Chains A and B, each alone.
Chain A
Amino acid sequence: MKRWLPLIIFVALAGFFYVGLHLNPREVPSPFIGKPAPAFTLPVVGQAGVTFAPEQNKGKVWLFNVWAPWCVACRQEHDALMQLSQAGVPIYGLNWKDKDREAAALLAREGSPYVVTADDLDGRVGIDYGVTGTPETFVIDKQGIIRMKHIGPIDADAWQNKFLPLLKELNK
């Protein structure tokens, strides 16, 4: 036993390091899970005089996708979001810190996966949702509670394994 002790310690440490190699430091646990989505009222991109507030979505399960025209990863995500929206998933956008005011033209050109996109010019609503970088997607349930936060683009794997099971459960 005593002879094997250094080997056991080494294997345990190597195990920790191996797991640590595969952790993503960007996956900061969100303090919002299980809490009500912060309230706000913002103008809607491309529709003068129209505003969006999360409480308008009470009673439905929806995705809240934080994006920006200057964000490259959001472009990668765009096709996936278009498919989801065509499949009937309600996606609402938050146009985060779009200083060059490009969102409306971009959505008109590339197509919009969003029911509406709220326009968060100074980034305050983003801060209220603990956004650190785009894209981030929240799943909000019928009671307006945040159930999940996904950091980074939604890919097929994330959709199949993270979103779909949760949405099925919430839509029951």
Chain B
Amino acid sequence: MKRLFLILLASLAMPVWAAEAVPVGDDPAIEARMVKLASDLRCLVCQNESLAGSHAELAEDLRREIRELMHQGKTDQQVITYLTDRYGDFVLYRPPFRSYTVLLWLGPALFLAIGGVAWYLTLRRRRAIQAASQVSPEALKQAADLLDEKQD
């Protein structure tokens, strides 16, 4: 009886003992943060995959680095800086606004503006043609009378 009690007592303490050495990757909070951050990062090996979803060995290593940096208390921004220092902006799926990405970010607005100008010019030209071809109601009536005597 006493022995059973001791075993029970020991098993009670087991979770405490188990929590002592959390292996990297078993902290759900860190894991969630890592996956969220890595979804926005590019895997350098399979360039169309995110770092979170890639099975490439380098992606696994980088996920391990991200986890460890987070364990050290680094912020998301610090982790991103760690990666861009090594792999450049290419690792980011959302490219930052830089002098060489101006066309990328402002291109759509530029094309919209070009379209808008073309639209405005076309409308103006059409209006000018309509105005120039304006015929007076008397002339129209006269023409209709000539074409068709029955029309009022």
Contacts and interface: CB of A to CB of B under 8 A. Distances in A.
Interface in B49-97: 57-58, 61-62, 65, 84-88, 90
B45 interface: yes
B30 interface: no
Interface in A121-135: 122-124, 127-130, 132-133
A124 B82 CA distance: 13
Interface residues of A, number: 15
Interface residues of B, number: 14
B57 A31 contact: no
A25 B87 CA distance: 14
Contacts of B47: 25
A132 B88 contact: no
Contacts of A123: 58, 61
A31 B61 CA distance: 20
B58 A28 contact: no
Contacts of B88: 28-31, 130
A133 B58 contact: yes
A150 interface: no
Interface in A83-122: 97, 122
Interface in B18-42: none
A28 B44 contact: yes
A127 B65 contact: yes
Nearest to B57: A97
Contacts of B84: 31
Nearest to A30: B88
Contacts of B58: 123, 132-133
Nearest to A133: B45
B61 A29 contact: no
Nearest to B90: A28
Interface in A52-108: 97
A128 B86 CA distance: 6
A25 B65 CA distance: 25
Q: Which 7 A-B pairs have the closest CB atoms?
A: A132-B44, A130-B86, A31-B88, A28-B90, A130-B87, A123-B61, A29-B88
